[in-house]
């Protein structure tokens, strides 16, 4: 299970599933510079290695792979994987190069760890879709497991970036799950337009598996993404 650390209950639910379904569980802990478009975002990304290692142990992880950036991208590194169309939509439009960094690091993690199954969260629906496409396109022998988004009691999707919100920003951020809960892009856009001080990057229905209503907003200097699966087309 790939992670960037600052583990929360969303990560732990994936680890729990991995623990239940496999003999050996490997978790990676790597804040992947290649998937950060904004260097400030990379610098302020929450990191707490000791706590993460303790939580991983508690969750029954057998091995934590925590490479340095230099190990993953040694001098002269120049090989990149691009999932072209999927990687340039939605999130890709606002974070050009993000999914190139994601696909490349996940493929490299797969090559090193050789997992039978890999665990991802529905929270990052487009990321799961990019990985699904990569697995198909490159005929990788990895079974993709995507697990539901874990939320706080008030509806906010758990995210390592939530730690960067002030209490007041966190309250404002609730407009995001409230808007998505309408399940309708027009209503969600209207609700977000009314809410105080949220900058909307996009609110779109995406034809993923399953289809989702997805959105990205900025609350102060923190960018949050979330989505809800839509009923209907079983494809």
Which residues are part of the catalytic machinery? Answer: 11
Pick out residues in 152-181 that bind ligand AMP (CB under 6 A). 157-160
| Beta carbon nearer to ligand AMP, 124 or 204 | 124
Q: Give yes or no for residue 217 binding ligand AMP (CB under 6 A).
A: no
Give min distance, CB of 122 to ligand AMP, in A: 6
Cα(224)–Cα(195) distance, integer angstroms = 15
Are residues 223 and 161 in contact, defined by beta-carbon separation less than 8 angstroms?
yes
Exposure b/e, 6-15, CB count within 10 A at least 16 = b: bbbebbbbbb
| Beta carbon nearer to ligand AMP, 81 or 157 | 157
Q: Give yes or no for residue 212 binding ligand AMP (CB under 6 A).
A: no
Query: Strands 212-219, 222-229: parallel, antiparallel or unpaired by DSSP?
Result: antiparallel
Q: Give yes or no for residue 35 binding ligand AMP (CB under 6 A).
A: no
Continuous H helices in 95-166? 98-113, 125-137
SS3 of residue 138 by DSSP: coil
| Beta carbon nearer to ligand AMP, 156 or 198 | 156
Give min distance, CB of 191 to ligand AMP, in A: 21
Q: Give yes or no for residue 115 binding ligand AMP (CB under 6 A).
A: no
Cα(128)–Cα(121) distance, integer angstroms = 7
Cα-based angle 32, 168, 180 (whole degrees, multiple of 5): 65
| Beta carbon nearer to ligand AMP, 98 or 123 | 123
Element (H, E) at 73: none
Q: Give yes or no for residue 4 binding ligand AMP (CB under 6 A).
A: yes
Give min distance, CB of 124 to ligand AMP, in A: 4
| Beta carbon nearer to ligand AMP, 10 or 211 | 10
Are residues 228 and 148 in contact, defined by beta-carbon separation less than 8 angstroms?
no
Binding ligand AMP (rule: CB under 6 A), the pick from 87, 92, 121, 210 is: 121
Cα(219)–Cα(224) distance, integer angstroms = 8
Q: Give yes or no for residue 99 binding ligand AMP (CB under 6 A).
A: no
Residues facing 65 on adjacent strands: 28
Which spans of this chain sit near ligand AMP (rule: CB under 6 A)?
3-4, 10-11, 13-14, 120-121, 123-124, 147, 149-150, 157-160
């Amino acid at each position: 299970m790939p992670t960037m650390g600052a583990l929360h209950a969303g990560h732990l639910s994936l680890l729990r599933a991995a623990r239940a379904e496999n003999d050996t569980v490997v978790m990676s802990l790597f804040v992947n510079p290649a998937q950060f478009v904004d260097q400030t975002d990379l610098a302020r990304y929450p990191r707490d290695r000791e706590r993460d290692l303790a939580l991983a142990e508690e969750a029954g992880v057998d091995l934590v792979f925590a490479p340095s950036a230099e190990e993953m991208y040694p001098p002269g590194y120049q090989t990149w994987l691009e999932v072209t169309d999927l990687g340039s939509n939605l999130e890709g439009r606002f974070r050009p190069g993000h999914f190139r960094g994601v696909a490349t690091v996940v493929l490299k993690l797969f090559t090193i760890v050789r997992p039978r199954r890999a665990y991802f969260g529905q929270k990052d629906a487009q990321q799961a879709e990019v990985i699904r496409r990569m697995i198909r396109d490159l005929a990788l022998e990895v079974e993709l497991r995507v697990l539901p988004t874990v939320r706080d009691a008030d509806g906010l999707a758990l995210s390592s970036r939530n730690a960067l919100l002030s209490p007041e920003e966190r309250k404002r951020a609730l407009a995001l799950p409230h808007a998505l809960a309408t399940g309708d892009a027009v209503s969600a856009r209207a609700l977000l337009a009314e809410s105080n001080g949220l900058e909307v990057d996009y609110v779109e229905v995406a034809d993923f598996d399953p289809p989702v209503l997805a959105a990205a907003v900025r609350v102060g200097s923190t960018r949050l993404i979330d989505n809800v699966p839509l009923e209907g087309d079983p494809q």
